């Protein structure tokens, strides 16, 4: 059994918390929202035991990593700076990055800005940065005129912060369930404009679920109760700013080796990347190495199907290491 160590550092102006385990080539695991480093708890040990140095940070403004109050501090340049600073702090020239949601988009952005710092990317659920002629917050506002849209709900300063800070346990429990294979997440779009996120989400069966215990949920509830939700929401509030940054590499392909793991009941693959997104991988990545799809899993795949997700990651890491990522 490999021990996990909690570490703290000053990186890019932030007080950063990360979990570290193992020795060997570096693998960095990046979470999105409503996640924390803890969402990789099933993967950290096995990857470390396979001969890798694993680091899973709490991302900017979430968990025990500090975050500025201003949304503009969550743009691409700041996030890329966080990752470069993390590599420098760890004394590593490059790493394999694996991510989900905002964490994966951060890895994509790093690949466009500093491909020399990435050995490979293992993407979960989000196969590429979806091109858009329209700023994402404008698109969300237009959609919110027809039905509930969580991105639009998050944007008004103070509104979602207040609602979620007042009921973190109810919100996280409902959202984790809604994003799993036990619910069809896009059904939240059936709710009318003006609905709060908590009211748009489904009621849940009592815990424990097959993939989540009460104690595990409480870890997230306690963390977000300490930090509040503003830091996480600022990632959404900076989406137009990030969209502007990404115009500089729109149409270019990710230049580093790319592996993909998706789940057959993922809300993002269904609703946010266009029709048949997996057929378009070669349009967005220069070097697509392998693709795996996991059955009977939703967007919470690392927790819903930890053995299958970890096995795919380990196979990609092992074959990549053997080939020297060349």
* 240 carries an active-site annotation: no
DSSP-assigned states of every residue in 129-174: ----SS-HHHHHHHHHTTS--HHHHHHSTTHHHHHHHH-HHHHHHH
200, 188 contact by CB (below 8 A)? yes
| Gyration radius of the chain's alpha carbons | 18
203, 42 contact by CB (below 8 A)? no
Q: Tokens for 125, please give them.
A: 């659920």
Torsion angle (degrees, nearest 10) of CA 283, 286, 287, 293: -20
Q: Tokens for 237, please give them.
A: 């509030």
* 299 carries an active-site annotation: yes
**Active-site option among 17, 58, 82, 101:** 101
> Which residues pair with residue 11 across a beta bridge?
14
What is the C-alpha to C-alpha distance for residues 78 and 72, in angstroms, rounded to an integer? 9
Give the closest residue to 108 by CA, choosing from 279, 281, 265.
Answer: 281
Q: Could you tell me the strand order of the sheet in which 118-124 lies?
A: 5-11, 14-21, 53-57, 26-30, 95-100, 118-124, 258-263, 288-294
The residues annotated as belonging to the active site are 101, 299
């Amino acid at each position: 059994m490999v021990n996990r160590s909690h570490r703290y550092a000053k990186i890019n102006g932030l007080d950063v918390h990360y979990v570290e385990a193992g020795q060997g080539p570096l693998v960095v695991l990046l979470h999105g929202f409503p996640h924390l480093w803890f969402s990789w708890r099933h993967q950290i040990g096995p990857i470390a035991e396979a001969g890798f140095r694993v680091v899973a940070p709490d991302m900017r403004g979430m968990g025990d990593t500090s975050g500025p109050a201003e949304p503009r501090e969550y743009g691409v340049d700041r996030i890329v700076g966080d990752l470069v600073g993390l590599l420098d702090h760890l004394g590593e020239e490059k790493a394999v990055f694996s991510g989900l949601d905002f964490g994966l988009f951060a890895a994509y952005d790093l690949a466009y800005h500093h491909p020399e710092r990435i050995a490979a990317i293992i993407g979960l659920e989000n196969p590429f940065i979806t091109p858009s002629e329209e700023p994402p917050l404008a698109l969300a506002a237009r959609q919110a005129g027809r039905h509930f849209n969580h991105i639009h709900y998050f944007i008004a300063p103070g509104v979602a912060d207040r609602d979620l800070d007042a009921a973190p346990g109810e919100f996280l429990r409902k959202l984790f369930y809604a994003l799993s294979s036990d619910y069809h997440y896009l059904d939240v779009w059936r709710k009318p404009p003006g609905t709060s996120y908590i009211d748009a989400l489904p009621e849940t069966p009592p815990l424990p679920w097959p993939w989540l215990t009460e104690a595990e949920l409480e870890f997230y509830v306690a963390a977000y109760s300490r930090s509040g939700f503003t830091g996480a929401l600022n990632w959404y509030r900076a989406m137009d700013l990030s969209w502007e940054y990404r115009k500089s590499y729109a149409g270019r392909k990710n230049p580093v080796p790319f592996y993909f793991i998706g789940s057959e009941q993922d809300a993002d693959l269904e609703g946010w990347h266009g029709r048949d997104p997996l057929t378009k991988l070669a349009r967005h990545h220069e070097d697509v190495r392998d693709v795996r799809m996991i059955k009977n899993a939703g967007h919470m795949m690392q927790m819903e199907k930890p053995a299958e997700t970890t096995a795919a990651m380990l196979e990609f890491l092992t074959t990549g290491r053997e080939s020297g990522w060349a």
